Structure 1
């Protein structure tokens, strides 16, 4: 079942990312090269690719991603991508047709699938709070990338980090809030995982 789900989730992820790439190229307002760079400038896209890669590796060579905490980190990343979209970005546009389907896959379906897989298969008792500082490297590196590139391209993928419109101070404040939320969500995943893992062990021992 684990391998079957990995295959299914990997295919879902690659389809969503590929379809979004095709849609972005088709509806581009910038040259192809710039559009491609912009495509890979979205946290949602990069994280969905990360999820697809994780499930692909879990299908063909699970030892690479077997270390406790790897699945938790990937799940938190995609959870954050989905949550930020649902809370902040969903109301900013109204996709239709294939774009609507792809949008829901990237921001709703795939995050839910990742959480389900995490809940069932992560070795939660081996995941620790000390791993969180390592997990935050990816979103911080992403933030540095979009701010540096935006400084000379004037393209910022999200309104809450758009220095041109809200200024650097507000951008850094928004980023700090998101990093804080990331730490809180990460801690909740670790603590909740340990709680249910312990509860499951107790139920198994008493049965």
Structure 2
């Protein structure tokens, strides 16, 4: 194992610990709040893990853990395409939070650093990990389309969840306020952002791979 690979595994471990800790604390905070309202712990867990932010961070934590343990060993979780997909997901989490959601809720106490970790720290750390440590030149132009599966399924899930519970998790998907045409249009725009960022990541991957090859000549 090279020094770069060892550093990559160590950095992945740091990301994994940060993400897992933030996810567990957010689940505990939300579940405690829900139970204080007279609802069940299960209801609290379903609520917190229905947010795209939590789902994306859990996927990221699983991938980062696999990379910390296995390094560049071949496997689905450690493939460059999988890590690129996670990068797209978590960057969108950070961007949507910064542009549309920051400041909508007044947080206090432990919820503040946990929120920062989930929406800012983890996205920055994993993006740096992808830029510095993930092998380049292994992505295909078709990959971003496959990466859309998770956010597309989430759109369907969130609409079903909202219809069944009456709780719509994000203001841009609030059907009672916006109506289905506007909510679905917003979802389409967000999915387009996922796809566009995916294409940009593939282009950057190829550019960085080309630069590395030229540097070795």
The equivalent of 1:126 in structure 2 is 138
**TM score, norm. by length of structure 2:** 0.90
Per-residue CA distance 1:91-149 (angstroms, 9 max, x = gap): 31232321110011000000001101100122221101111111000000111111112
Question: Which of 35, 38, 46 is 2:55 aligned to?
Answer: 46
| Structure 1 residue 31: Cα displacement | 3.1
1:138-184 Cα offsets, whole Å, 9 max, x none, are 00011111111211211111111111221111100100110111111
* Shift of residue 196, structure 1, vs aligned partner: 1.9
Q: Partner residue of 1:149?
A: 161
From 192, 198, 201, the equivalent of 2:210 is 198
Aligned match of 1:23: 29
Counterpart of 2:178 in structure 1 is 166
Looking at structure 1, the residues matched to 154 and 185 of structure 2 have their Cα atoms a distance apart, in angstroms, of 16
Partners of 2:56 and 2:90 within 8 A in 1: yes
Say if 1:124 and 1:190, in contact at 8 Å, map to a contact too. no
- Structure 1 length as normaliser, TM-score? 0.94
Question: Does the CA contact (< 8 Å) of 1:23 and 1:99 recur in 2?
Answer: yes
Map of 2:97 onto structure 1 = 85
Task: Spell out, residue by residue over 1:71-109, the C-alpha distance to the aligned partner (whole angstroms, 9 max, x if none).
Answer: 100110011111100100003123232111001100000
Gapped runs of 5+ residues in structure 1?
A: none
Determine if the alignment matches structure 1 residue 183 to structure 2 residue 195: yes
- Runs of 4+ off more than 4 Å: none
**Match for residue 99 of structure 1 among 105, 111, 128:** 111
Separation in 1 of the partners of 2:11 and 2:211? 25
Deviation at 1:35, TM superposition (A): 1.6
Alignment partner of 2:119: what SS? helix
Query: SS where residue 168 of structure 2 aligns?
Result: coil
SS of 1:155 mapped into structure 2: coil
Does residue 12 (structure 1) correspond to residue 12 (structure 2)? The answer is: no
